Amino acid sequence: MTLETVGFAGVAVVLLAASLGVVLTPNLFHSVLWLAAALVATGGVFLLLDAPFLFGVQLLLYAGGVVTIVVFAIMLTERLAGRTIRQASRYLVNGAVLSAAVFIGVAGFLVQAPAVTGRPALAGDLTVAVGRALVGPFALVLELLGVLLVIALLGALYFARSEP
């Protein structure tokens, strides 16, 4: 039992439990909290995969930013509605069947693929390499991403404006 195996098992359990929590909890606010847990668990997976930079980004943006935004949105819609929105899900069986089918479909491919166990050696610090790549070959994409974020900002501002 290597450390990695134990770590993986633990993170996997947490992630799956949290995901189930997200989709099954009747209370929407609880759902968001479960999502936060799931996002942190995902960060743990990134750590196991030798990507500490991504772990940091995940915690900052996802667990920090997205969860905050969603909480705000829930509060606004709940506040405006004046009551707690109950989550009564519809057609649970259908959804379960379809999701299970999709999982089985993907898993089917996975069992057919040859097993890959060995990881190649790390070539230096990953973070530095990522940084270099971002301002190197992927510079254009980075700039476009910036433009996208500006557009999203503008869009959100437009939607959020007060009615004339």
Partner 1 sequence: MPLGAYLTLAAAVFAIGLFGVLTRRNAVGILLGIELMLNAVNINLVAFARFSGDLGGIIFTLFTIAITVAEVAVGLAIVIVIFRVRRTVEADHLDLLRG
Partner 2 sequence: MSFRVGSAMVALLVLALPFVSFLLLALVRPLRRSAVAAGTTSIAFMVAAVGAAFWLSWRSVPRALLQSPSTTWTWIPADGGPMATVGVMVDEKSMAMCMLVTFVSLMVQLYSWAYLHDEPRTSLGRYYAYHSLFAFSMLGLVLAPTFIQMFVFWELVGLCSYLLIGYWYDRPSAARAAVKAFWITKLGDLGFVTGIVMLWVAAGTFDFWDLFRLANTGGLPREGMPLIMFLIYLGAVGKSAQFPLHIWLPDAMEGPTPVSALIHAATMVTAGVFLVTRAFPLFLLVPDVLTLIAWVGAFTALLAASMACVENDIKRVLAYSTVSQLGYMMAAAGAESPAAGFNHLLTHGVFKALLFLGAGVVIHVFHTNDIFRMGGLRAQPLIWVPFVLATLALAGVPPLPGFFTKEAILGGVLEAHLTVPFAMLALTAFLTAFYMFRVVFLTFFRPGLGDSHAHHHVPPLMSLVCWTLAAFTLASGVAMARQVLGSGQHGDAPPWLPAFSLALAGAGILLAWLTYQRQALDPARLSAALAPLDWAARRRYGIDAVFLGLYRVALLAFSRLVGWFDRYVVDGILNVLSAWTLRAGDRARRLQSGLPQDYVYGVAFGVLLLFVLAQWRLR
Using rule CB under 8 A, residue 139 touches partner 1? no
What, of partner 1, partner 2, none, does residue 159 touch, CB below 5 to 8 Å by kind? partner 1
Q: Which residues pair with 27 in a beta bridge?
A: 86
Coil, strand or helix at 86: strand
Distance, in Å, from the CA atom of 152 to the CA atom of 102, rounded to the nearest integer, reads 31
Rounded least distance, CB 68 to partner 2, Å: 25
Contact 3, 47 (CB under 8 A): no
Distance, in Å, from the CA atom of 96 to the CA atom of 82, rounded to the nearest integer, reads 32
Cα–Cα–Cα angle for 18, 21, 22, rounded to 5 degrees: 90
What, of partner 1, partner 2, none, does residue 124 touch, CB below 5 to 8 Å by kind? none
User: Which among 68, 61, 69, 15 has a CA at the least distance from the CA of 37?
Assistant: 15
From residue 59 to residue 98, the character string flagging contacts with partner 1 as x (rule: CB under 8 A) and all else as - is --xx--xx--xx-xxx-xx--xx---x-xxxxxx-xxx-x
Rounded least distance, CB 98 to partner 2, Å: 5
Q: Among 10, 50, 125, 143, which residue sits at the site for partner 1 (rule: CB under 8 A)?
A: 50
Q: Which is nearer to partner 2, 2 or 112 (CB)?
A: 112
Rounded least distance, CB 140 to partner 1, Å: 12
